[in-house]
């Protein structure tokens, strides 16, 4: 059966197995070579010969590696027969990438099969053996399968993902017929041929007289790489080709019946609630979840949806994490693919950016310029004109428009860096808001919509965000992660009062009656005369880079202590509650189970999770759980950049980088500029 790790049967480190290949793709495609190496296979040229008796290998003479049933597979098959060598058949996993391989996207996983290939029904592949013989009764495994299947459906993830889920589908109801590319091995080796597609279309019409028939064209056909079985000649008053890049899940939702030969969309149809009619013999057929025109006689077992998913998506594939460069779980790959797909959909047309300081521009290219490079303009009106000419969205830092029409506001995210933004440390997360911006309660923001949409939170999302919160608390992660220890504090009921930058937009937009650090201290003391009040100045203010300093003697008239040179998060565990204007520290305190009182209207106020003494928007009517609020805030809203792999990544990667200090930090030029700006604080308008 499957060999997916570089260990022997005893769990000890083992040398990689030799894999002799005769297909150039194994040599030229770095991702495939890397996954094979991590899975315990060493690619070789030549041919298997003498037995390999190295520790952990036994008398292995070497394996022959073959790509599925490709046109070049006969070369390896011939060598394997002559040398009596075992064969490893390699194929793309069922969640592959945003674009197809022919468009240059590397896979996020491989199927490494020692018995056959999953789409060849003439023999039992490793996958079929798993589905036929594995107990598939472990509660934890089946719970994972149900959650992952829901994640795949709700996030609209498919094998290829170059589509916009918001693109409207044809009006329902309709019968969905799924086309495939001509000559594909998955058709011939599932016992079908071109005539099966004709038969399928005829049967669909006969079984649904008068119904509209939609034929879903394969993505490679739409891209012009390979022909399909149906063309415009097959259209009629009731038969229509679907050649637009639509979400498969949206199409499946509007269908009253699904017909397929051997397409993976038939597998996905099962998890969209269908019992697809199958005219070939794909891996998911004949297990009791499909209507099989040509059943596979040896598949006698009846599986649940969760059992089929567990076998096909969790136990069978070898998944790869491109950020951490390691074999990983299905859940990790789904988070990465969700990130890849979402950012491509948002960024595919490119952007024109204004209000971006020179030191920020390289980081912004990494965040937003991976599909098309950003075009920068210094002033918003010129950027707006260029954006209109290029039909690109116009983005600006903090939505500073200068009277221009800004469509997207960009700001630092909530897990920013290890070091201050004012010290020119590049960010690990940014937010891009096409409605408003999270710190401005005077208008709706995309974050508000995401928080509302996350009520209630699906089980898969709840499990993920609970793991995230636990990881953040365990590692002591916050926005800036300054890493300074907590001090000795006076005994009593401690209230932490975080200072803020007083000319920060969150204060200017989100505060009314109380809008200063001194006013916050006065209000906190008035409401809590017996408490131990601890004032923590903002790091940027402490560094002399921003406004908001309170004279120490004046602060001590209302506070019991002024805590400086300390990581704010280190104080949260030492305090009983937090009083704040709009500080992110209030959100970080909520994550750690502390009561929070807000005198302003930060993004986390007004949802029933805080005591609100300021005015919060009436539109915040949803009552999300803390997990739902956190999912929207830390997973849905920001985007994250991994400084190690130099690619966009899920939040969990950035948490790991922050925990271990693998964040890159500011460049030499930025460090020198930061020191200069510290000496010239009064002229900070030049670089801010």
pLDDT of 133 over the 80 cut: yes
| pLDDT digits 0-9 by tens, 9-22 | 344 456 889 999 99
Q: Are 495 and 579 in contact (CB under 8 A)?
A: yes
pLDDT of 619 over the 50 cut: yes
Tell which CATH classification among 2.30.30, 3.40.50, 1.10.3470, 3.10.620 matches the domain 159-316.
Answer: 3.40.50
Q: What is the pTM of this model?
A: 0.90
Residue extents of the structural domains in the chain: 17-133, 159-316, 330-447, 451-665
Residue 545 is predicted with a pLDDT of 64
**Region 161-180: what's the mean pLDDT?**
96
How much is the CA Rg of the chain, to the nearest whole Å? Answer: 29
pLDDT of 604 over the 90 cut: yes
- Name the residue with higher pLDDT: 406 or 193: 193
**Region 607-631: what's the mean pLDDT?**
97
Residue 342 is predicted with a pLDDT of 96
In this structure, the dihedral spanned by the alpha carbons of residues 248, 272, 95 and 128, taken in order and rounded to 10 degrees, is -130
Strand partners, 395: 353, 408
Residue 9 is predicted with a pLDDT of 38
Residues of the chain above pLDDT 90, percent:
79
Distance CA 569, CA 482 (A): 9
Q: Using 50, 70 and 90 to split pLDDT, how confident is the model at 55?
A: low
Q: Using 50, 70 and 90 to split pLDDT, how confident is the model at 679?
A: very low
Fold of 451-665: Rossmann fold (3.40.50)
Residue 288's region, left for phi above 0, alpha for psi from -120 to 50, else beta, is left
CB-based burial label for 334 (10 Å; 0-12, 13-18, 19+): buried
pLDDT of 153 over the 70 cut: yes
- Name the residue with higher pLDDT: 687 or 459: 459
Distance CA 289, CA 27 (A): 39
pLDDT of 6 over the 70 cut: no
Q: Using 50, 70 and 90 to split pLDDT, how confident is the model at 274?
A: very high
Distance CA 595, CA 584 (A): 14
**Region 282-302: what's the mean pLDDT?**
98
pLDDT of 27 over the 60 cut: yes
Q: Using 50, 70 and 90 to split pLDDT, how confident is the model at 59?
A: low
pLDDT of 485 over the 80 cut: no
Instruction: Name every residue whose Cβ is closer than 8 Å to that of residue 358 and which is 6 or more positions away in sequence.
Output: none
pLDDT of 41 over the 50 cut: yes
159-316 and 451-665 in the same fold: yes
pLDDT of 92 over the 90 cut: yes
**Region 127-142: what's the mean pLDDT?**
98
- Name the residue with higher pLDDT: 398 or 401: 398
pLDDT of 563 over the 50 cut: yes
**Region 379-385: what's the mean pLDDT?**
91
Q: Using 50, 70 and 90 to split pLDDT, how confident is the model at 218?
A: very high
Distance CA 169, CA 171 (A): 6
Residue among 282, 333, 335, 309 at smallest CA distance from 95: 333
Q: Are 371 and 347 in contact (CB under 8 A)?
A: yes
Residue 671 is predicted with a pLDDT of 44
Distance CA 609, CA 622 (A): 11
Q: Using 50, 70 and 90 to split pLDDT, how confident is the model at 539?
A: confident
Q: In what order do the strands lie in the sheet with 494-498?
A: 561-562, 532-536, 494-498, 577-580, 596-598, 611-612
| pLDDT digits 0-9 by tens, 317-350 | 999 999 999 999 999 999 999 999 999 999 999 9
Query: Mean pLDDT of all residues in the chain?
Result: 90
| pLDDT digits 0-9 by tens, 63-91 | 999 999 999 999 999 999 999 999 999 99
In this structure, the dihedral spanned by the alpha carbons of residues 233, 239, 244 and 246, taken in order and rounded to 10 degrees, is -150
Q: Using 50, 70 and 90 to split pLDDT, how confident is the model at 421?
A: very low
**3-class secondary structure per residue, 123-137:** CCCHHHHHHHHCCCC
| pLDDT digits 0-9 by tens, 408-417 | 999 999 998 7
Residues of the chain above pLDDT 70, percent:
89
**Region 395-416: what's the mean pLDDT?**
83
Residue 11 is predicted with a pLDDT of 40
Q: Classify 257 as helix, strand or coil.
A: strand
């Amino acid at each position: 059966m499957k060999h997916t790790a570089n260990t022997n049967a005893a769990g000890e480190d083992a040398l990689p197995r030799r894999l002799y290949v005769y297909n150039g793709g194994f040599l030229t495609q770095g991702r495939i070579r890397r996954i094979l190496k991590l899975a315990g296979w060493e690619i070789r040229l030549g041919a298997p010969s003498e037995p390999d008796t190295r520790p952990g290998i036994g008398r292995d003479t070497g394996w022959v590696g073959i790509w599925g049933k490709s046109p070049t597979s006969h070369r390896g098959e011939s060598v394997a027969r002559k040398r009596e060598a075992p064969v490893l058949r390699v194929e793309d996993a069922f969640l592959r990438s945003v674009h197809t391989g022919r468009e240059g996207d590397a896979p996020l996983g491989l199927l490494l099969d020692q018995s056959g290939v999953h789409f060849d029904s003439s023999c039992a592949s490793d996958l079929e053996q798993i589905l036929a013989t594995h107990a598939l009764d472990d509660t934890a495994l089946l719970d994972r399968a149900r959650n992952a299947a829901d994640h795949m459906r709700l996030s609209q993830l498919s094998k290829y993902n170059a589509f916009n889920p918001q693109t409207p589908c044809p009006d329902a109801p309709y019968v969905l017929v799924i086309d495939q590319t001509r000559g594909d091995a998955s058709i011939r080796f599932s016992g079908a041929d071109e005539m099966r597609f004709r038969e399928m279309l005829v049967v669909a019409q006969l079984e649904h007289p008068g119904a509209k028939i939609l034929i879903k064209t394969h993505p490679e056909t739409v891209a012009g790489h390979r022909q399909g079985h149906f063309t415009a000649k097959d259209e009629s008053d009731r038969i229509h080709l679907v050649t637009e890049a639509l979400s498969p899940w949206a199409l499946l939702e509007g269908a009253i019946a699904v017909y397929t030969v051997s397409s993976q969309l038939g597998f996905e149809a099962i998890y969209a609630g269908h019992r697809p009619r199958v005219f070939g013999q794909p891996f998911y057929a004949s297990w009791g979840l499909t209507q099989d025109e040509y059943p596979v006689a040896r598949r006698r077992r009846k599986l649940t949806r969760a059992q089929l998913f567990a076998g096909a998506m969790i136990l069978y594939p070898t998944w790869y994490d491109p950020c951490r460069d390691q074999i990983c779980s299905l859940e990790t790959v789904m988070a990465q693919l969700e990130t890849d797909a979402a950012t491509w959909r948002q960024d595919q047309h490119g952007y024109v950016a204004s209000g971006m300081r020179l030191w920020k521009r390289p980081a912004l290219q990494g965040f937003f310029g991976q599909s098309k490079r950003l075009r920068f303009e210094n002033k918003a009106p010129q950027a707006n004109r260029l954006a209109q000419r290029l039909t690109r969205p116009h983005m600006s830092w903090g939505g500073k428009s200068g009277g221009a029409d800004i469509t997207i506001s960009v700001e630092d995210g909530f897990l920013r860096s290890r070091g201050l933004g004012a010290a020119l440390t590049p960010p690990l997360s940014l937010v891009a808001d096409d409605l408003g911006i999270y710190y401005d309660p005077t208008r709706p923001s995309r974050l508000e919509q995401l928080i509302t949409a996350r009520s209630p939170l699906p089980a898969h999302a709840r499990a993920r965000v609970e793991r995230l919160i636990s990881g953040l608390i365990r590692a002591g992660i916050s926005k800036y992660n300054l890493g300074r220890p907590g001090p000795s504090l006076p005994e009593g009921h401690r209230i932490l009062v975080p200072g803020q930058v007083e000319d920060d937009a969150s204060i200017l937009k989100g505060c009314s009656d109380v809008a200063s650090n001194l006013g916050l201290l006065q209000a906190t003391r008035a409401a809590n005369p017996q408490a131990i009040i601890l004032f923590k100045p903002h790091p940027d203010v402490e560094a002399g880079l921003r406004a908001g300093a309170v004279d120490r003697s004046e602060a001590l008239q209302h506070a019991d202590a002024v805590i400086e040179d300390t990581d704010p998060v280190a104080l949260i565990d030492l305090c009983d509650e937090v009083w704040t204007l709009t500080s992110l520290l209030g959100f970080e305190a909520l994550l750690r189970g502390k009561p929070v009182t807000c005198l302003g209207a930060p993004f986390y106020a007004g949802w029933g999770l805080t005591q609100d003494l300021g005015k919060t928007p009436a539109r915040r009517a949803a009552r999300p759980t803390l997990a739902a609020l956190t999912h929207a805030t830390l997973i849905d809203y920001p985007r994250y950049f991994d400084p190690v792999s130099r690619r966009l990544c899920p939040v969990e990667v950035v948490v790991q980088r922050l925990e271990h200090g693998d964040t890159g930090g500011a460049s030499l030029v930025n460090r020198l500029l930061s020191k200069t700006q510290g000496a010239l604080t009064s002229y900070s308008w030049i670089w801010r």
